[in-house]
């Protein structure tokens, strides 16, 4: 009895030192990717899709102010926004992969994440002004992306919440190996 009590106390004292607690914190690679949600890959990714889109939209807006809408794409005038899009496509990779890892047990959440990522990539590429597009039409189009991102982000959150609550599509735990099961049964009989 005393040995068991000492073992429980020793385990309780040593458990805060376990390295797994520190290993679960997500590192986005830069504070500029998801400044408000760095603790989990999912939260970071869901913030980053809006944040990184905004960054490139603002760069494109500066080019439009500087050169005008039709000339913003001519020659090297659009180089800054094109560079921004390429950079953010790289920056989103780590949060996206972390979000996919966190959602892996739930196929609906993974599908929603893939849909969101595809929409985000298409929106980033579509920041370019279209030929003959009026400035007002351009602004309506690029700001509409925010309205489209909200339900997609919410769909990911709902898929995660309902999957976690209902246990739908949860991977089954692996069965115990026969040797371990026999040893466990023998130990139970001995007690």
Which domain covers residue 51, as residue numbers?
30-169
155 has a pLDDT exceeding 80: yes
Residue 45: is it exposed, middle or buried by C-beta count within 10 angstroms (0-12/13-18/19+)? buried
Residues 101, 16, 11: CA angle, nearest 5 degrees? 115
Residue 53 lies in a domain: yes
pTM: 0.72
**What average pLDDT does this structure show over 76-95?**
94
User: Number of folded domains in the chain?
Assistant: 1
Which of 31-40, 83-92, 119-128, 180-189 comes out lowest in average pLDDT? 180-189
Residue 49 lies in a domain: yes
Query: What CA–CA distance (Å, rounded) separates 112 from 127?
Result: 23
Residue 176 lies in a domain: no
Residue 96 lies in a domain: yes
Question: pLDDT tens digit string along 180-191?
Answer: 555 555 555 555
127 has a pLDDT exceeding 50: yes
**What average pLDDT does this structure show over 72-90?**
93
Residue 6 lies in a domain: no
Question: pLDDT tens digit string along 37-71?
Answer: 667 889 999 999 999 999 999 999 999 999 999 89
* Dihedral sign (CA 146, 93, 110, 158): negative
pLDDT score for 16? 40
pLDDT score for 171? 46
Q: List, as own/partner pairs, every contact residues 150-156 make where C-beta atoms lie below 8 angstroms and the sequence separation is at least 24, other chains included.
A: 152/112, 152/115, 152/116, 152/119, 153/46, 153/49, 153/50, 153/116, 155/112, 155/115, 155/116, 156/42, 156/46, 156/103, 156/109, 156/112, 156/113, 156/116
Residue 40 lies in a domain: yes
Query: What CA–CA distance (Å, rounded) separates 96 from 11?
Result: 36
Question: pLDDT tens digit string along 2-39?
Answer: 554 444 444 444 434 333 333 356 676 677 888 886 67
For 83, the token pair is 């560079």
Residue 140 lies in a domain: yes
Residue 181 lies in a domain: no
For 49, the token pair is 């899709």
């Amino acid at each position: 009895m005393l040995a068991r009590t000492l073992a429980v106390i020793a385990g309780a004292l040593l458990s805060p030192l376990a390295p797994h607690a520190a290993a679960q914190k997500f590192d986005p690679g830069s504070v500029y990717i998801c400044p408000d949600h760095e603790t989990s890959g999912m939260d970071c990714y869901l913030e980053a899709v809006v944040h990184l889109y905004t960054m490139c939209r603002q760069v494109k807006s500066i080019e439009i102010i500087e050169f005008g809408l039709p000339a913003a794409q001519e020659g090297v005038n659009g180089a800054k926004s094109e560079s921004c899009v390429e950079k953010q496509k790289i920056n989103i990779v780590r949060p996206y992969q972390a979000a996919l890892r966190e959602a892996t047990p739930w196929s609906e959440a993974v599908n929603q994440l893939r849909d969101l990522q595809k929409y985000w990539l298409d929106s980033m590429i579509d920041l370019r002004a279209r030929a003959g597009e009026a400035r007002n039409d351009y602004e309506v189009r690029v700001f509409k992306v925010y309205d489209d991102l909200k339900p997609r982000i919410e769909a990911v959150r709902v898929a995660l919440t309902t999957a976690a609550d209902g246990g739908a599509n949860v991977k089954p735990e692996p069965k115990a190996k026969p040797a371990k099961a026999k040893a466990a049964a023998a130990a139970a009989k001995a007690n």
